[in-house]
Structure 1
Amino acid sequence: MISRIDLRGTPGDPRDLLPRAELDIEAATEKVRPICDDVRHRGVEALIDLTERFDGVRLADIRVPRAAIDSALAELDPAVRAGLEESIRRARKVHADQRRSDTVTHVVPGGTVTERWVPVGRVGLYVPGGRAVYPSSVVMNVVPAQEAGAGSLAVASPPQADFGGLPHPTVLAACALLGIDEVYAVGGAQAVAMFAYGAGECARADMVTGPGNIWVAAAKRLLKGVIGIDAEAGPTEIAILADDTADAGYVAADLISQAEHDVIAASVLVTPSVALAERVEAELADRVPATKHSERVAAALGGRQSGIVLVDDLDHGLAVVDAYAAEHLEVMTADASAVAARVRNAGAVFVGDFAPVSLGDYCAGSNHVLPTGGSAHHSSGLSVQTFLRGIHVVEYDRAALAEVAPSVVALAEAEDLPAHGEAVSARVGRTGGEGTAR
């Protein structure tokens, strides 16, 4: 059901030996190019045609009526509403602590540099649909943008034929709980293009965020620069670093929970314990047939992107999970907190027996929009910081400029950019004098 990869006694960088889903983003990019161009040139008309083509729904209007959003909230199951409200409350608590304040640095007397944090003006938030419904992704996108103070927020989510061409009602209800009334029944690459170029009532956005399929990722890559993006999200993934103290049932349940997302979802166990590997394999054999989406789970666990990786010891295991740089990393070892503190590369780290990834998906307070495909080596998950821009504000008086003028002139001449130096000399004189009064 799940393969084994034996890295014991294997030195060096293991990245090329680790399981990973194969995605041809470049090929997908060429396929979404005409879609994005169509939206750019034909706007709403193109979006309606593309929605019919890809989602099987012919829309009269791409914008979801406010009445439909209100109705979705009114009809929401009370238990689901309570869960969403708790998710929002916890996410706000965590993300409020991420707010940044302006910092003024007094470089010299009369010379300051202020780092001013300014929120993005307008954000398009993408909420995927398909095999599952993701109201939690509404929470994870909207809360940090709101806490950052973004000026305008719009949500796009694919239309569902079963719901009259509207996004799933639970997604709409989540929007209502968060005060979002600008929602569009648009999915895929065309949604990214709508935010990038604007269409009908949907004004251009400065940034688009949120997870999606390969077509969404490809559109983000293609349109990056036209619009800011958070990341090119790939298939979801979990890595579990565990030793022989781990509960095999917990490990198996968590591998299955991630495999439930998609047939190309990645579930990886890294362990120095052959005995644990065998126990987990036995648990999977029992649990997979009993789970609701057993065929999907079995396909994901049996794919080349999943596996049990055997390592020499925990130090070797830490090196392997750092090389893998998982979207989600669970640490189930003796002294798990100390081991987790040594992790350098992961989107989010879940420590010990009672912090499964599914807690983070919904109600930990952390964000579940995280870097995938090894990009946790250099990127972070969605946060308040995603929606802020740092602007340096430089303020020097004449004396402060005169004091540093010789250094500026020397460096400008060293770079053969004499006009740079002359721009300073014109104000203070070549050697720091008064210059010409104007």
Structure 2
Amino acid sequence: MTTALAATLLFGSLIVLLLIGTPIALATALSAIFTMLWILPFDQSLTTAAQQLAVGVDNFTILSIPLFVLAGIIMNNGGIAFKLINLAKLFVGRLPGTLAHTNVVGNMLFGSISGSSVAAAAAMGKIITPMAKRQNYPVNYIASANIASAPAGLLIPPSSMLIVYSLVSGGTSIAALFIAGYIPGILWGLVVMTIAYFIAKRNGYAVSEKISWKDRAFIVLDAIPSLLLIVLVIGGIVGGIFTATEGAAVAVVYATVLALIYREISIKQIDVIFKETFEVTGMILFLIISSSLFSLMMSYLEIPSGISNVMLSISDNPIIILLIMNLLLLFMGTFMDVTPAILIFTPIFFPVAADLGVDPVHFGIIIAFNLCIGSITPPIGSVLFVGTSVAKANFEKVIKTMVPYFVILIVMLLIITFFPQLSLFLPDLFGLL
């Protein structure tokens, strides 16, 4: 069987399985197995598949993913969101559309701690939406600000998405990726706040009441222990005190102690917390092992190098090639969740980026930014659906309100792509490149 036909079977079966509603992890594994059975003897196929499924998760760094997930879920149930929302309100209290800005800053803070844009959108939405309704904010305005800002937390570390990219890109420094996400993540939040500000100014939305200096001091002191988690974990990883996996374990211990001090978690909640952790971790690990099998078949069929040759034959201009990759990633990101998209497309595009001389850390941020936009874009955007559901808003109306956010975020994507120092300045400053 020729390589072209095998590649057609690999991607064709994947598309067919997805179209008939097969979960993406299972579709990815099955399409790889179908192709493997076609081109290799049966016994060799079984041996290769079994070995690859084991090798796919045989990495110490992968242990950081369930630990960060557990830390995020503990903090999600530990009353942290309320404290961070109060802190966020201090920064934006006198801006028109105060609650929308509070939501954005809250997502940046809580998303970076929880490591999940979906968790951030759900937590912030559940708290902000009732407050917004009491103050007569249009629900579509609040929902769109919540949805648009939630992915900022995926860029601001600790980020499981960047850990997955590190694994499939051949070991790109996790510390460098973490620190590189700060400026793009903060810029994401700022541009969302800019759009929310102009909408609020035009429509005369409410400004929050003034907060006394006594209350300000209490809010800051109350939030400091939560913020110290970021300083402790990221500072330790970047400073070389511990690895990402060890940092994740520290995050679990710290989050547990904090939740117990706040008395927000009871013994009865422990089984719920671990059950949710097992469910999320199982899904991620299944995606990783199935995608590793898919990547093995792509490498065997030399698909990444073939795509690299085709793209470089179109143009040797890095600007043109990066624009093409951005368009493809934006398109696929609207149909696929973040983790499987990274697992599938990083092995395809990474060799092309390497041939163009793009820094691996910068390319990781480009992919992450693309797929974060995809997470809030129809038809599959998980954050979009969660944010709309939590706010009990009309889906079509929320989409219309989201249009300015889509435009400004795509502009930001181009800036991130063609001004690499926005991503590389901090890693270079800390000597991580």
More relative contact order, 1 or 2 (CA 8 Å, 6+ apart): 2
Q: What is the TM-score when the length of structure 1 is the normalising length?
A: 0.27
Q: Which has the larger radius of gyration?
A: 1
The structure whose residues are more often helix, as a share, is 2
The structure whose residues are more often strand, as a share, is 1
Q: What is the TM-score when the length of structure 2 is the normalising length?
A: 0.28
